[in-house]
Structure 1
Amino acid sequence: MDARDQRARLVDVELDESIGRSTPDVEHERAVAIFDLIEDNSFRPVGDDGLGPYRLRLSLVDSKLVFDVSRESGETVVAHILSLTPFRRIVKDYFLVCESYYEAIRSATPSQIEAIDMGRRGLHNEGSQTLLDRLAGKIEIDFDTARRLFTLVCVLHWRG
């Protein structure tokens, strides 16, 4: 990884109090999603050529997801607001398939579990692509980072 790649990344992700708190299980899943995102990501606000690394603060305002991006030093870079409407169906379907998957693990055949898991991964990829598309022209991320961010979006919706 070259020096520019080291700067085009997130080093911190914070959930604003507007996100709210949930059960210990949900809080654990949020912490894991944030850890995975910070561990491996590619993230650069469009027009901010290599001046990271960045911090991301996520908040909810009027049912919209706000991406507040700052430099590692705390200096504000940009804020982007995304409607959650395009994600509602995908997240709802994803949770339903996840429930089916966890039920299947207990009693289904391996081929049934695999089929449900393929559907789960397909929905996760669809949500990740939707996030990638919604951030296009605002924040440059790769597909793997979009997957990790979509996981976090899902966990934000999960109430436990």
Structure 2
Amino acid sequence: MTGASTTPSRFRLSAVSLDPPLGGRTDATQKHEQSIAVFDLLDNNRFAPIEHRGGPYRLRLSVVDKRLVMSVTTENGAPVLCHHLSLTSFHRLLKDYRLVCESYASAAARLTPDRLEAIDMGRRSIHDEASALLKQRLKSKVEIDHGTARRLFTLIHLLVYQQLLGGFI
């Protein structure tokens, strides 16, 4: 899936794509999560590659050999950076996040709103921790704000989840 922003700015993402696009055994819920994350990311983000004069930028995310590959170009296609980030430090967070999301989905019809809120608070806590780690791990390559980190983590989770279905982890 690719999304595009119409809001001009120098240090922001104008397009985001996943490689490969979500498909195969990925269900409608994950595709919906991706659509929301991309829409929200393009609507409001801060993305400033270190020592680059400005974009807007196009970002392609993929997972290769248990590494996140972030390929960044300008809107005109000029290469800005290609960064490979080990996902090892995210393994526990990705697993916990997936388990909490699955618990929420399976419990939604049978638990009280208070109990669902407690599960969702746990999900948000894991999401915040993963976002802070992502922001810290990227700081030498790209400056991002908290909201951008959260939405990027959602997309990373979806990519890894898709590969998990194919035997990634």
Q: Same fold (TM over 0.5)?
A: yes
Letter of the structure 1 residue corresponding to residue 108 of structure 2: I
Shift of 1:121: 0.6
Paired position in structure 1 for 2:47: 43
Distance in 1 (alpha carbons) for counterparts of 2:42 and 2:110: 36
Aligned match of 1:29: 33
Superposed CA RMSD in Å reads 1.9
**2:147 maps to 1:144:** yes
Name the SS of the counterpart of 1:157 in structure 2: helix
Instruction: Please tell me whether the aligned partners of residues 22 and 31 of structure 2 are also in contact (alpha carbons under 8 angstroms).
Output: no
Q: In the alignment, what sits opposite 2:85?
A: 82
Give structure 2 stretches of 5+ with no counterpart: 1-7
Q: Which amino acid aligns with 2:51?
A: G
Query: Aligned to 1:21, what secondary structure does the other structure show?
Result: coil
* Aligned 8 A contact 1:43 1:140 in 2: yes
TM-score, normalization by structure 2: 0.82
Count of aligned pairs: 154
Measured at CA, do residues 59 and 98 of structure 1 come closer, stay the same or move farther in structure 2, by a change above 3 Å? closer
Say if 2:112 is the partner of 1:72: no
Check 1:151–1:20 CA distance in 2 against 1; reply closer, same or farther (3 A cut).
closer
More helix by share: 1
Give the partner amino acid of 1:36. Answer: D
Change (3 A) 1:53 1:122: same
Which of the numbers 56, 61, 65 marks the counterpart of 1:53? 56
* TM-score, scaled to structure 1: 0.87
The corresponding residue for 2:116 is: 113
- Tell which deviates more after alignment, 30-39 or 69-78: 30-39
Return the offset for 1:157.
2.2
Deviation at 1:92, TM superposition (A): 0.8
Distance 1:94 1:112 in 2: 17
Identity over aligned pairs, percent: 51
Amino acid at match of 2:96: D
